[in-house]
Amino acid sequence: MVQLDRNETPVAAAVKDETQAWSEVIRLDNVSKTYSGSSRPAVDNISFGLKSGELLALLGPSGCGKTTTLRLIAGFERPDRGQIQVKGQPVAAAGLSWWQPPEKRQLGVVFQDYALFPHLTVSQNIVFGLRRVSRQAAKERLAELLKVTGLTDFSHKYPHQLSGGQQQRVALARAMAPRPMALLLDEAFNSLDTTIRSAMHQEVRSILKAEGISAILVTHDQAEAFELADRMAVLNSGRIEQIGTPQGVFRQPANHFVAQFVGRANFLPARLEQGRVESELGRLSGQINLNADAVEAGDFDLLLRPHEIELFPASNETGPVATVASRIYAGAESLYSVQLSSTGQILEAASSKDFSIGQKVNLAAKPDVINLYPREAKGLAG
C-alpha cells in the first residue's frame, strides 16, 4: 500500500519510487463500504489484487457484497475506508477523500443488460468509445474486434436482430475497444439461456485471453466461476472467505460456508487422533487438511463430496449400512440421498449404479483430501 505524505497527491506518491514494478492491474487494500441507513457493511475490510492477464471471479450469494465491490472499483461508489489502485496509482483513498471518476480509470464495464444502443449498428456500438482516436485507428480497431468476437458478418445489424450471445459479444467488444486496463463484468451471463451459457463462458474466456485483457467477473454461479476464472474469491456478508484457484477452493475449502457454496457437501462427525481419522464410514487415510489452528486431535466435521462416497448393494459383510431415500437422475450419474442406519444422518452420494428407493446399501468414503473443520459454524450464511 502506498504511504502518503500530508502534502503529496496520491498519484505522485504512487510513482515516487521509479524502481517499483506493478504486477497487479487492480489492488484493493482494507476497503469497506456501508450504505446510508444500513447498520451492516456491504463490503467489510476486503483486500485482494488482480494480476496482469488474469480472470478473477467474485463469487457469492445475493447480498454478499460482490457487486458493491465491482462498483467501488469502477468508481460508481466511494469507499468509506481503504484504498483502491489501478496500475499502482490510487483511484480512491478514503482517508484522504481522494476519488477518481469512472471515466478517468481506464476500466471497461459490461453490465448484466449489456446496455447496447438500439438505434446503432453492431459496428457503431463497438466504436462508440473510440471518439478520441483517428478515423483510421478506429476502423482498424473495429476490424480487429469484429474478427476476434466472430461478429464480422453481423457488423451492419442492429441489437434487436441479434441473439443473446451475439449481443453479449457486442457489449464485450465495445468495452474492449479503448484497450482498458481491465474489464469488469457484472453478472454478464444472466440473461443467456442455460443451453448456450457454458459455450459462451469458453468463448468469452478465449476472447479475453487472446486480447490479453485482465478481468473481474461478478457471479453467483459456481459453474460459471469454474469455467471462466483463473482464480476465484468467495464472498460472504461483505468479507472474503477464501481466494484461490477454482480447483484449490473446491478441493480444500477454508470453512463450512465455502464448502457448501462451491458444491454439494456432506459433513460427517469425525475423530482425529494420532494422525488417524475415524468416522461412521470407517477409518480414513490420506492427505489431511486440518482447518483449525494448533489443533492435533479432537472432534471435527469431515467434508465428503457426493462423488467421494461409493455405494454398493448391501452384503453380509460388516460395514456402514444405509437406506436409499431418494434419487435424482443426472445423466451419467445419479445423485442419491441415503440414510445411515447407525445415526439416521442423511448423506448425498453420486453413483453410476442403479439403486431403488428403500434398498439397503453399504458405503465407503474415498475423499480426494481429508478436510476436517471445527464442529461449529455450520450452515450457509446469506
91 φ, ψ to 5°?
A: -110, -10
Does 255 score more than 80 pLDDT?
yes
Q: Can you give the residue ranges of every domain in the chain?
A: 10-106+180-251, 264-374
How many alpha carbons fall within 13 Å on the CB side of residue 34?
9
* Highest mean pLDDT out of 24-33, 197-206, 208-217, 314-323: 24-33
**pTM to 2 decimals?**
0.85
The SS3 assignment for 140 reads helix
Type of residue at 258: V
pLDDT of residue 318: 67
**Are the beta carbons of 354 and 307 closer than 8 angstroms?**
no
Distance of CA 140 to the CA centre of its chain: 34
Average the pLDDT over each of 44-58, 222-236, 274-288 and give the range with the smallest value. 274-288
Burial 112-143 (b: 16+ CB within 10 A, else e): eebebeeebbbbebbbebbeeeeeeebeebbe
Per-residue model confidence as pLDDT tens digits over 196-221:
777 788 888 888 898 899 999 999 98
Q: Are residues 298 and 272 in contact, defined by beta-carbon separation less than 8 angstroms?
A: yes
The CATH number of the structural domain formed by 10-106+180-251 is: 3.40.50.300
Cell of 234: 468467495
Query: CB of 185 within 8 A of CB of 218?
Result: yes
DSSP state of 121: -
In this prediction, residue 376 has a pLDDT band, given cuts at 50, 70 and 90, of low
Name which CATH class applies to 264-374.
Answer: mainly beta
Opening angle at CA 212, ends 228 and 89, nearest 5: 100
C-beta of residue 347 within 8 angstroms of C-beta of residue 304: yes
Element housing 70 (H / E): helix 66-74
